[in-house]
Amino acid sequence: MTEAEWLECDDLEKMLRVARFHSSRQKSRLFAARKSRLFATACCRLIWPCFVDERSRRAIEVAERYADASASEEELTAAWQGAEQAHREMYDVVGKCGAHIEWAAELAAGPDPFLGAKAAAWMTVS
């Protein structure tokens, strides 16, 4: 996929497959993790108004900064834990379906950025 095709693409699942393919070919796992995290946060930005809990938004912001080396591992971990708690609380109130949006933020800031990208993309198209 060319850059022009990427910029015009509106199929998030296709974009995720392309990102994963290119990331898996990279020699640096750090680079692949960065790309996955940025993809996850970009998907979360598409559903930004749907987030109920401010901790979820905070996790996305910190994950973006972390990917750009502007936030520490400790900041990311704290933001991830806050988003995890927000997701759990939402789950207890509205159940699994209602808590999916908050889960996207939790995963975007979590330890497996590709899983976060995959889940956030799924949330965006759901």
**Cα–Cα distance for residue pair 44/36, rounded to 1 Å:** 12
What pTM was estimated for this model as a whole? 0.76
Q: Give Cβ neighbours of residue 44 (< 8 Å, ≥ 6 apart).
A: 51, 60, 104, 105, 108, 120, 123
Q: In degrees rounded to 5, what are phi and psi of residue 10?
A: -120, 15
In whole angstroms, give the CA distance from residue 56 to residue 13: 23
Domain range spanning residue 40? 3-125
Between 26 and 39, name the one with better pLDDT.
39
The number of domains in the chain is 1
Mean pLDDT on 94-110: 84
Confidence category of residue 19, pLDDT binned at 50, 70, 90:
low
